[in-house]
Chains A and B, each alone.
Chain A
């Protein structure tokens, strides 16, 4: 596989469920990101991992828990979500440390519906 992959592509869960989203990048990058895209809202950066260390956490509720076991994999663990958390969750990666070339490459997203 090439690029950035995400699984599952679609997920329906109840508010008491626990699920995880998975992202894998095959680009040799050293930084990975989780974004939330809701209808009619700007893209929201949730988490940034740079060299496997979390460097940004934009005040995301604790019901979202990221995990980055290595530079190629990123997870988003979900528990006791709310209906307003329904959105498209996008993963991205980039190669940091190269001046002026912070192009982010995105996965196809996981469409999440919380009932």
Chain B
């Protein structure tokens, strides 16, 4: 079956620290992979995506590379800001059916 596992939070970092949020997946077929971000009081916003192996998604300084060999899609940012404080969700979309599979979310707090 399809599933996504992401690291437990919460994560607290100082401003300008390096961020990694781990995400691994299990899927049949060739899924697309996504990171969504949810700021307090808001819905989920697409942060970045990758549709095939070795693709790198990037946006707003965040990056994630689709690694088929390790079934991973870890989110990274070189220097976090206070405004990056949010909950981050890893997700996959199977190439069959139209269901998304979300991880449980990782809460990030960046302190000045």
Contacts and interface: CB of A to CB of B under 8 A. Distances in A.
Contact of A42 (B44, B49, B51, B104): B104
Interface in B19-59: 30, 32, 34, 36, 42-46, 49, 51-52
A45 B100 contact: yes
Given A101-B32, A101-B51, A102-B93, A107 B98 contact: no
Interface string A86-99: 00001010101001
Nearest to A49: B98
Interface residues of A, number: 26
Nearest to A104: B100
Contacts, number: 53
B47 to A, nearest CB: 11
A71 B51 CA distance: 25
Given A100-B32, A101-B51, A102-B93, A42 B102 contact: yes
Given A31-B98, A43-B89, A103 B42 contact: no
Given A90-B44, A108-B43, A102 B98 contact: yes
Interface in B75-90: 89
Contacts of A105: 46
Interface string B91-105: 001010011101111
Interface of A: 4, 6, 31, 41-43, 45, 48, 50, 55-56, 90, 92, 94, 96, 99-109
23 contacts: A31-B98, A41-B104, A42-B104, A42-B105, A43-B89, A43-B102, A43-B105, A45-B99, A55-B98, A90-B44, A94-B98, A96-B98, A99-B95, A100-B51, A101-B32, A102-B93, A103-B32, A103-B46, A103-B49, A103-B93, A105-B46, A108-B43, A109-B43
Interface of B: 30, 32, 34, 36, 42-46, 49, 51-52, 89, 93, 95, 98-100, 102-105
